[in-house]
Structure 1
Amino acid sequence: MFSFSFDPAVDPVDLEVFRNRCAAIAEEMGAALGRSALSTNIKERRDFSCAVFDAQGRMVAQAAHIPVHLGAMPRSVEAALARGTLAPGDVVALNDPYLGGTHLPDITTVAPVCADGVLIGYTATRAHHADVGGMTPGSMPMSREVYQEGLIIPPTLLVRGDTPDESVIGLICRNSRTPDERRGDLAAQLACHRIGAQRLAELAERHSPAWVARHMEALLAYGERHMRAVIAAIPDGTYTFEDMLDNDGVDLDPLIIRVRIDIHGETAIVDFSGTAKQCRGPLNAPRAVTESAVIYCFRCLGPPDMPLSAGAYAPLDVRIPEGCMLAPRPPAAVAGGNVETAQRVVDVVFGALAQALPDRIPAASAGTMNNWTFGGVASNGASFAYYETLGGGMGARPTLPGLSGVQVHMTNTLNTPVEALERQFPLIVRRYGLRHGSGGAGRMRGGDGLVREVEFCAPVTVSLLSERRVYAPYGLNGGAAGLRGRNVLIRDGEERLLPGKTTVEMLPGDVLRIETPGGGGFGAPLR
């Protein structure tokens, strides 16, 4: 474990203003990215994240975007800086899951920020691109190795001295079924870097690069102090928990995730020994994703205004056996680790912490992002591809019921409006609403899941990557489990239950119904 020291010369009021300025920079970058992107996934669903880093590549501020992106992003920045010194105007792009990435559709861009010729920090973005190649449209296939999931981008210069490298951009676009979308979304990521650089440079011009560096260091120490206080409020002891993933989409065997949390004063050891070995299917989670889920859980125990800088990682010792499904060896498939396995990591960490803090930890939420992708060729010969996650039920809290139909834990995206979906793709949304009664019973009831029913008007290839179809979200303290999810194909009036992870060729007139899980209940139901 490492530690940061607080500079007593930094005024606390100045630091609070500086902290909010840095967070506002990340938020403004995100607003620009969302407004200027081309794809539905980024423009409507807001499947992206932005953050600010210091001159050593340590995260000092982030926007309130996607938890799994932000917690893993420092590893990508580390990989980007390891390739060599970045000059002003350079931008590095990468998506390699084994170099800090999450899964291949998430492309990260990293750019240096200078003021008066002095490096003062970096800005970073991560956006989910709806298609980067691979076996099936949407790049979330039932893969058995990472090479089947799309184009792998190691740290590569996308822009050199403010001049985009058209050969690299062309390579990325050529490997996508929707090249115009990729070009537009990449341009949006580059544009928001310019906003971030401008705002950070304004801070340095107003105060000085040295002042910015000193306050960034103080933010790191401030984040560490907050996390130490969070851990200190947890009773010392050892807490264990385990839960299952349904299967990996290739083999039908369940996959166990085990955790042991040792709390000692202001530090925590989070050990995943005993977790299943890396699997053949796409449910392996890169180490950065697992670390991201752990930091998220502990961050949830802090106050709403708790700063989440790199300093917050200091009191946490995350131990993951090499070669297990939470730290796989390449070329293991990882498309679903980011979206599904990360959710189960949250479930087991919270399950362990519930033993220490029974009056604070909620029951299990839906535990899946209910991923569905589809694609095909339109009547005009143009290819299309779409990716979406669906919300579910939130687990009941000790004093409040769970929310219904929301994105939970490691995801924080919006839904796609029906009007936008029907306008852009050959389908009709037949039903979209709450799955009433799917939340677990209890003194506090779990939130209900969703039902999305879509009729396709053209032949499409659909891929489903979903969990909690076999093992239900658990209740706590006598609360009942939430209902499991269901995927249903309706063809010629007949219903056929689909596996949680599958690829299906849909015909015109076919209907896909996705019923998402409800959250677990809390406490024994009252008579």
Structure 2
Amino acid sequence: AVQSTSIFAEGVQIPPSRLAEAGVINETFLQLILRNVREPELLRGDLESQLAACHTGAEGLRALATRHGVERLASLNDELLDYSETLLRAALAEAVPGTYEFIDHVDDDGLGSGPIPIRVRVTLSDSGIELDFTGSSPQVDSALNATASFTRSAAYAALQGVLASDIPANSGFYRPFTFVIPDASILNGQRPSARGARGLVGFRIIDAVLGALAPVFPDQVPAAGEGGPDGIAIGVVGADGESVVLWDPLAGAWGARPDRDGVDGISSLGANLTNTPIEELERSGHIRIDGYGYLPDSGGAGRWRGGLATFRDMMLLSPRASVQIRSDRRKFLPYGLAGGAQGTPSLNVLDPGGPGERVLESKPHFVMTAGTRHRHVTAGGGGHGRPFERAPERVREDVLDGKVTRAGAERDYGVVITEDGAIDASATAELRGQAL
């Protein structure tokens, strides 16, 4: 929960410990872990899958050592690390040296305080790349605090997303980096600060680093996306006393790219998630999904349009549920680039359209009862390039696809679409001429 105020509220803290040794499971340790989660059989399956993956990897490594010899394998590993470093330094050498700054924000900490600035200064020089996060927010009272290692990881991800995808992601890639991460900041929280919801800050670190790099790599950096998948957790205690947790990480949109539109309904650069199928959510019998799709006019306008916001309408079927939502980009919208418009804000609404309709904050923790309905909307992605430079035919296609309304086409792009779906060339020329 975002509202945790201490690491001691976030579960058992486990130091590095062996789950298995010499092929034998430490059953006492395994049972300790399983007794501290709400759905132990799911976790058991996850752990067994990871053990199987580790076993497969170990067998492959042994086969390589047998084939090439230990010394030769170690030498090849060193060459691979040096190769990654060489490729990264070559890519950075194409950039103009200098210091580039950007600041982005998390709306609030979920406890009423905010906004929360994430500031970065990226310095490119012959020695490599330095990221200085001085000026970012002090650590907060809620669970949004990141660790220094997590901050570095998010920064690496941003660079990997910008540069060529064929640079191997290993420790050689990281050698040219140096970091300045203030102690006791939201990017380097100190014990006993809570940290369980730090993923949101990681997404914003990526947005800030990309924003700083946009002038350096203008043909490679996209506008901001929805700000990271929103997390909707629904906790239900069944009639048999067993706990069920339904977690719906709702992914929204990418920002527009320098040469094409943003992608709709896809996880951000900083996460490896996908939207949960309706059938999977409804299988428990605790909730019903009444609506799921995209919202027209929600992608930031630009020569290239931002990805659309995703909405999900849910009704609770069980007598009672505890709901925790981690979302953002309500106040600080996804930024556009090169004259592109901002994206649209996220939204949480209870009983939408009903007499008791109530707009909730972006990080609420509340109780729902049977028959209560909830709508969640992710933010829409930012646009790239000036909207009136978008090809009218692309605007027409968006209108026909339901991604842009006729009113939105006229308002945001200066393109008039007739009722039969044609472009009114004279009216469009007049609108665009007035705008220019």
The residue aligned with 1:466 is 327
- Aligned AA for 1:288? S
Q: Is the 8 A contact 1:229 1:266 kept in 2?
A: no
Equivalent residue for 1:512, pick from 374, 384, 389: 374
- Aligned AA for 2:308? D
Counterpart CA distance in 1 for 2:253 and 2:42 is: 32
Larger strand share, 1 or 2 = 1
The residue aligned with 1:446 is 306
- Aligned AA for 1:341? V
- Aligned AA for 2:243? S
Equivalent residue for 1:169, pick from 22, 30, 35: 30
Larger of the two Rg values belongs to structure:
2
The residue aligned with 1:247 is 108
Residues 1:401 and 2:401 are matched in the alignment? no
Equivalent residue for 2:200, pick from 336, 340, 344: 340
Q: Is the 8 A contact 2:300 2:382 kept in 1?
A: yes
Counterpart CA distance in 1 for 2:247 and 2:71 is: 44
Instruction: After superposing the two structures, state which structure 1 stretch, 516-525 or 417-426, moved more.
Output: 417-426
The residue aligned with 1:410 is 270
Q: Is the 8 A contact 2:2 2:142 kept in 1?
A: no
Counterpart CA distance in 2 for 1:368 and 1:493 is: 32
- Deviation at 1:336? 1.7
Counterpart CA distance in 2 for 1:291 and 1:327 is: 10
Equivalent residue for 1:496, pick from 350, 358, 374: 358
Counterpart CA distance in 2 for 1:294 and 1:239 is: 14
Counterpart CA distance in 2 for 1:206 and 1:175 is: 44
- Deviation at 1:266? 5.3
The residue aligned with 1:388 is 248
- Aligned AA for 2:211? G
User: 1:238/1:206 Cα in 2 relative to 1: closer, same or farther (>3 Å)?
Assistant: same
TM-score (normalised: structure 1)? 0.71
Counterpart CA distance in 1 for 2:160 and 2:77 is: 20
- Deviation at 1:268? 0.8
Q: Is the 8 A contact 2:143 2:194 kept in 1?
A: yes
Residues 1:298 and 2:149 are matched in the alignment? no
Q: Is the 8 A contact 1:251 1:280 kept in 2?
A: no
Residues 1:487 and 2:348 are matched in the alignment? yes
The residue aligned with 2:387 is 525
Q: Is the 8 A contact 1:487 1:512 kept in 2?
A: yes
Query: Relative contact order (alpha carbons < 8 A, sep ≥ 6): 1 or 2 greater?
Result: 1
User: 1:356/1:141 Cα in 2 relative to 1: closer, same or farther (>3 Å)?
Assistant: closer
Cα deviation 1:352-407 (Å, max 9, x = unaligned): 11122223211111113211111121233321112231111211112211111111
Counterpart CA distance in 2 for 1:388 and 1:232 is: 42
Matches within 5 A, 1:290-329: 290-329=151-190
Instruction: Give unpaired runs (5+ residues) of structure 2.
Output: 389-431
Matches within 5 A, 1:75-474: 140-265=1-126, 267-337=128-198, 339-458=199-318, 459-474=320-335
- Aligned AA for 2:219? D
Q: Is the 8 A contact 1:281 1:333 kept in 2?
A: yes
- Aligned AA for 1:356? V
Cα deviation 1:305-363 (Å, max 9, x = unaligned): 211110000001121011111011111111221x2101111111111111222232111
- Deviation at 1:425? 4.7
Q: Is the 8 A contact 2:228 2:267 kept in 1?
A: no
Cα deviation 1:411-458 (Å, max 9, x = unaligned): 121222211221135111111111221111111111102111111111
Counterpart CA distance in 1 for 2:2 and 2:234 is: 11
Secondary structure of the corresponding residue to residue 265 of structure 2: coil
Q: Is the 8 A contact 1:231 1:266 kept in 2?
A: no
Secondary structure of the corresponding residue to residue 225 of structure 2: coil
Counterpart CA distance in 2 for 1:357 and 1:177 is: 46
TM-score (normalised: structure 2)? 0.86
Cα RMSD, aligned residues only: 1.5
Q: Is the 8 A contact 2:249 2:276 kept in 1?
A: no
Q: Is the 8 A contact 1:473 1:518 kept in 2?
A: yes
Counterpart CA distance in 2 for 1:370 and 1:336 is: 11
Secondary structure of the corresponding residue to residue 340 of structure 1: helix
Q: Is the 8 A contact 1:260 1:271 kept in 2?
A: yes
- Aligned AA for 1:502? P
Counterpart CA distance in 2 for 1:512 and 1:431 is: 10
Counterpart CA distance in 1 for 2:269 and 2:336 is: 16
Secondary structure of the corresponding residue to residue 250 of structure 2: coil
- Aligned AA for 2:15? P
